[in-house]
Structure 1
Amino acid sequence: MNKYPAPEFSARFLLPKYWGTLLLVAFAYLLSLLPWKLQFAMGKALGRAAIRLMPKRRKTMIRNLELCFPNMPAAEREALIKANIDNTGLALFETGMAWYWSEARVAKHVSFEGLEHLDKLRAEGRGVLLVSVHSLNLEFGGRACGLKLSGMGVYRPNNNPCFDYFQFKGRTKGGHEMIHRKDVKTMLESLRKGRVLWYAPDHDYGPRRHAFAPLFAVEQACTTTGTSLLVDETDCAIVPFTVVRNDDNGHYTLTIREPLVDSFPKHDPEAGARVINKVVEESIMAAPDQYMWLHRRFKTRPEGQPSLY
């Protein structure tokens, strides 16, 4: 089994072109040392300041919410936008928490629900496709997950090799291993061996290996059919999980939801895309203000249809 090799620190990372990256990583470390309530206040302030410098991202966020929830009252949508901006700023702090906090400090802020579902599947020796969405606290969720189980995560190396070094170290701190996102062979091998594979099928990954399926009020959302490939080839169980920050005191609940065992449509990628988008919807609605609405989720359209942005 070929897991993604750990990047090594290079002396070239000390060159001026990487100083900004080193400062960012050091800044995240120092922030992680602060009390949670101070981090929370600073995170909200950072989000509100940063969004002013990213008008295109704000426009994307607003458009995504309009597309997904066209009947949502304007006041409710505006409140959701404000909360999402706050949580976007807090994501930097939650990344620092994930990469630098001790296990003891992480454990103080996390509770778990539904672990019995995983225990049963592991006792059966069945592979588990742990399906998440790109919530803004996903980095912290991955670290918290490592307190109870180790698995393999689908990994996209960062284009900046210096940042990739620190990102990889952070994401494997809880005992996880990484598989390159294009290494389907290793994904299949790990699932066949009864391992846990962390997978996030909620983004628009483009026209390769895709189907158009409903997502909220958007009737044709470009959806990866990779989920169907993994299930068809390994007979793994799909296990949705969510990570939700419950309050301003920094308590998170990691919930393992009811597995889809033998109920996911086989050898029908389009039906599979419809089912997985329902899973995605339920996961997002666990805390819609904590989801990554900044992503252009509906950028890929069926041939001949105009852009939604």
Structure 2
Amino acid sequence: GVKAVFKTLKRGGFSIILPDHVPEPSGGVVVPFFGVKTLTSTLAPKLASKTKCALVGLSCIRRDDNRGFDIYCYKLDDPALYDRNTEVATHALNIAMQEMIEDQCSHYMWGYRRFKRIPNLGNPYRADSSKLQAFLKSAKDKRYKT
């Protein structure tokens, strides 16, 4: 799997990687995601650093009439995404993901369960929408104050 993806990227091809799935401990680092330190996959940042492939964010948002999805592509051009320091690159990818999620928070697949227990929120998978929105706003405000 990974070797084939690496070869494809080195030849100028493309691949789609979902970077928000929780990896095995050996496949990730603990970096902030919405202000909460959590285990995060290093696969996409490592491939980007080694192959210099372009990184593109992708969101699929269900249409209001429930008749399909609109697909949005985001240019991910933060140089930190290609940093050889895996923690720096992975954190940069989490920030890019946060920005995409914040555009349409209710459409994010929170079922990926990146978190299980968060101080001041509890289990986000059981939190009501208004409490979750307030948490996200608070985390965003904290990120931009530092």
Fold shared per TM-score above 0.5: yes
CA RMSD, aligned part only?
Answer: 2.1
Q: Does 1:268 align with 2:85?
A: yes
Aligned residue pairs, count? 118
Task: Determine the C-alpha separation between the residues in 1 that align with 2:49 and 2:41.
Answer: 14
Residue pair 1:211, 1:222 contacting (<8 A) in 2 also: yes
Residue 38 of structure 1 corresponds to none
Offset, 1:224: 1.1
Q: Secondary structure at 1:221's aligned position in 2?
A: strand
Correspondent of 2:28 among 210, 213, 232: 210
Offset, 1:249: 4.7
Offset, 1:222: 0.4
| Per-residue CA distance 1:96-130 (angstroms, 9 max, x = gap) | xxxxxxxxxxxxxxxxxxxxxxxxxxxxxxxxxxx
- Equivalent position amino acid for 1:289 in 2: S
Name which one, 1 or 2, has greater alpha-carbon Rg: 1
Residue 113 of structure 2 corresponds to 296
Q: Is the alpha carbon distance of 1:295 and 1:259 closer, same or farther for their aligned partners in structure 2, counting shifts above 3 Å?
A: closer
Residue pair 1:241, 1:256 contacting (<8 A) in 2 also: yes
Q: What is the identity percentage for the equivalent residue pairs of Structure 1 and Structure 2? A: 28
Residue pair 1:227, 1:272 contacting (<8 A) in 2 also: no
Task: Determine the C-alpha separation between the residues in 2 that align with 1:283 and 1:261.
Answer: 14
Residue pair 1:204, 1:223 contacting (<8 A) in 2 also: yes
Residue pair 2:81, 2:90 contacting (<8 A) in 1 also: no
Which stretches in structure 1 are left out of the alignment for 5+ residues? Answer: 1-182, 300-307
Q: Does 1:193 align with 2:11?
A: yes
Task: Determine the C-alpha separation between the residues in 2 that align with 1:249 and 1:209.
Answer: 36
- Equivalent position amino acid for 1:222 in 2: L
Which 4+ runs in 1 deviate beyond 3 A?
A: none
Task: Determine the C-alpha separation between the residues in 2 that align with 1:297 and 1:262.
Answer: 25
Residue 65 of structure 2 corresponds to 248
| Per-residue CA distance 1:257-277 (angstroms, 9 max, x = gap) | 123275524211000111010
Which stretches in structure 2 are left out of the alignment for 5+ residues? Answer: 117-121, 124-146
Residue pair 1:245, 1:251 contacting (<8 A) in 2 also: yes
